[in-house]
């Protein structure tokens, strides 16, 4: 079994080692091998990640939100974590709370009825439909989400977006 170091995988995917670690932490990298402090992926897993297709440019309107692995949210007692929990399915209510709350989004009305897509290092984690929102302190938005239909999910599931710095919104 051939093993690939994180730095080599980062080069192959055109991203930083931190981004590769985020992929690992959110569960998008499946076959990892550790040796002391070193982390490797199998060559097959590296090939799978590298061959993940990009989302077609003619995809439906969506709000992409960059998320990291789940951590305790010190400011929100109503949700068990913020971010993506790799041990929980996309439709789990706690997962939805983990990715749907407290975003700085201007004009959130334009996203009601459209899609919200949590991504890590460009890779799609899930696809949700925005049913509504509320505004919290500091004009942060908490979106009311439901899992998108199979037809809505199709252009995104198993795909990735090209990497971009900063916030990433594609209102189309």
Per-residue pLDDT, 165: 58
Same domain, 73 and 34: no
Same domain, 76 and 153: yes
CA dihedral 72, 171, 119, 3 (to 10 degrees): -160
pTM of the model: 0.90
CATH number for the domain spanning 9: value is: 1.10.10
User: Residue 133's domain spans which residues?
Assistant: 62-170
Number of domains in the chain: 2
Same domain, 94 and 138: yes
Q: What is the mean pLDDT of each run of 10 residues along the chain (172 residues)?
A: 94 95 95 92 96 94 94 89 96 97 94 97 98 95 97 96 64 41
User: Is 76 part of any domain?
Assistant: yes
Per-residue pLDDT, 172: 39
Same domain, 9 and 74: no
User: Is 57 part of any domain?
Assistant: no
Per-residue pLDDT, 152: 95
β-pairing, 123-124 with 38-42?
unpaired
Same domain, 92 and 147: yes
């Amino acid at each position: 079994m051939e093993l690939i170091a994180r730095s080599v995988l980062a080069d192959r995917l055109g991203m930083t080692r931190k981004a590769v670690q985020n992929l690992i932490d959110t569960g998008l990298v499946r076959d990892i091998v550790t040796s002391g402090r070193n982390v490797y992926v199998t060559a097959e897993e590296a090939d799978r990640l590298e061959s993940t297709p990009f989302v077609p440019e003619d995809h439906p309107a969506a709000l992409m939100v960059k998320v990291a692995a789940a951590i305790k949210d010190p400011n929100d007692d109503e949700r068990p974590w913020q971010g993506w929990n790799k041990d929980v399915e996309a439709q789990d209510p706690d997962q939805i709370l983990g990715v749907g709350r407290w975003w700085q989004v201007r004009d959130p009305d334009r996203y009601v009825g459209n899609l919200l897509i949590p991504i890590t290092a460009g890779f799609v984690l899930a696809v949700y439909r925005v049913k509504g929102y509320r505004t919290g302190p500091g004009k942060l938005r908490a979106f009311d989400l439901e899992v998108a239909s199979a037809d809505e999910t199709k252009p995104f599931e198993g795909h990735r977006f090209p990497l971009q710095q900063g916030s990433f919104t594609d209102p189309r």
